[in-house]
Amino acid sequence: MNPWRPGRQSLRRRLLTTVMVPLLVLLLLNSLITYVGALIYANHVHDENLIDDTLALVQMMATQSQDGRISPQAQFLLEYEPEGRNYFSVFSVKEGLIGGNPSLHPPDGVFTASPEPRLYGIQIEKHALRAASVMMTNPRDANDQLEVTVAETLHDRHVEARQILLLSIPAQTLLIVAVFLLVWLGVRTGLRQLDPLTTQLANREHDLAPIGDQAVPVEILPLTRTIDGLFARLRGMLALHERFIADAAHQLRTPLAGLSVHAERAQASSDPATISDALKHIQRLIQRANRTSSQLLALTRAQTTEHDVGDSEPLNLATLIPELVGQRVHEALAANIDLGYDGQSGPLWIDGDRHRLQEMLDNLIDNGLRYAGSGALMTVELWRDGEDICLAVEDNGPGVPPAWLERLGERFFRVPGSDEEGSGLGLAIVQRIVEWHGARVRYFNASSDGGLRVEVIFPAMPHTERLI
* Interatomic CA distance for residues 384 and 371, integer angstroms: 28
**Do the domains 218-302 and 313-466 sit in the same CATH topology, yes or no?**
no
Evaluate if residue 4 carries a pLDDT over 50: no
- The domain 218-302: what is its CATH number? 1.10.287.130
Q: What is 313-466's CATH superfamily?
A: Histidine kinase-like ATPase, C-terminal domain (3.30.565.10)
Q: How sure is the predictor about 338, in pLDDT bands with cuts at 50, 70 and 90? A: very high
Write down the mean pLDDT value for the chain: 78
Residue 155, phi then psi, degrees to nearest 5: -60, -50
Q: How sure is the predictor about 5, in pLDDT bands with cuts at 50, 70 and 90? A: low
Evaluate if residue 15 carries a pLDDT over 90: no
- Taking residues 98-109, report their average pLDDT: 80
Listed range (98-102, 247-251, 442-446) with the worst mean pLDDT: 247-251
Q: How sure is the predictor about 1, in pLDDT bands with cuts at 50, 70 and 90? A: very low
* Interatomic CA distance for residues 451 and 444, integer angstroms: 9
Question: What is the tens place of the pLDDT at every residue in 220-273?
Answer: 777 777 877 777 777 776 775 666 566 666 556 666 777 787 788 888 888 888
* Interatomic CA distance for residues 420 and 438, integer angstroms: 31
The whole-number pLDDT of residue 463 equals 63
Contact 342, 380 (CB under 8 A): yes
The whole-number pLDDT of residue 297 equals 65
Contact 260, 254 (CB under 8 A): no
The whole-number pLDDT of residue 40 equals 92
Other Cβ atoms less than 10 A from the Cβ of 171: the count is 9
Nearest to 350 by CA among 393, 386, 312: 312
Listed range (84-98, 142-156, 351-365, 376-390) with the worst mean pLDDT: 84-98
Domain boundaries, the chain: 13-162, 218-302, 313-466
* Interatomic CA distance for residues 42 and 157, integer angstroms: 5
CA 9 to chain centre: 20
- Taking residues 286-298, report their average pLDDT: 68
The whole-number pLDDT of residue 455 equals 92
The whole-number pLDDT of residue 423 equals 62
Evaluate if residue 219 carries a pLDDT over 50: yes
The whole-number pLDDT of residue 394 equals 92
Most confident of 80-89, 194-203, 279-288: 279-288
The whole-number pLDDT of residue 320 equals 93
Evaluate if residue 124 carries a pLDDT over 80: yes
Q: For the chain, what percent of residues have pLDDT higher than 90? A: 11
Question: What is the tens place of the pLDDT at every residue in 358-412?
Answer: 888 988 998 888 888 888 999 999 999 888 999 999 998 888 888 888 888 776 6
Q: Do the strands 377-385 and 349-352 form a parallel or antiparallel pair, or are they unpaired?
A: unpaired
Axis-axis angle for helices 426-436, 272-302 (nearest 10): 20
The whole-number pLDDT of residue 7 equals 54
The whole-number pLDDT of residue 78 equals 55
Q: What's the chain's length in residues?
A: 468
The whole-number pLDDT of residue 402 equals 82
Residue 451, phi then psi, degrees to nearest 5: 90, 125
Evaluate if residue 35 carries a pLDDT over 70: yes
Residue type, 54: T
Q: How sure is the predictor about 323, in pLDDT bands with cuts at 50, 70 and 90? A: very high
Q: What is the 3-state secondary structure (H, E, C) of the chain?
A: CCCCCCCCCCHHHHHHHHHHHHHHHHHHHHHHHHHHHHHHHHHHHHHHHHHHHHHHHHHHHHHCCCCCCCCHHHHHHHHCCCCCCEEEEEEECCCEEEEECCCCCCCCCCCCCCCCCEEEEEEECCEEEEEEEEEEECCCCCCCEEEEEEEEECHHHHHHHHHHHHHHHHHHHHHHHHHHHHHHHHHHHHHHCCHHHHHHHHCCCCCCCCCCCCCCCHHHHHHHHHHHHHHHHHHHHHHHHHHHHHHHHHHHHHHHHHHHHHHHHHHHCCCHHHHHHHHHHHHHHHHHHHHHHHHHHHHHHHCCCCCCCCCCEEEEHHHHHHHHHHCCHHHHHHCCCEEEEEECCCCCEEEECHHHHHHHHHHHHHHHHHHCCCCCEEEEEEEEECCEEEEEEEECCCCCCHHHHHHCCCCCCCCCCCCCCCCCCHHHHHHHHHHHCCCEEEEEEEECCEEEEEEEEEECCCHHHHCC
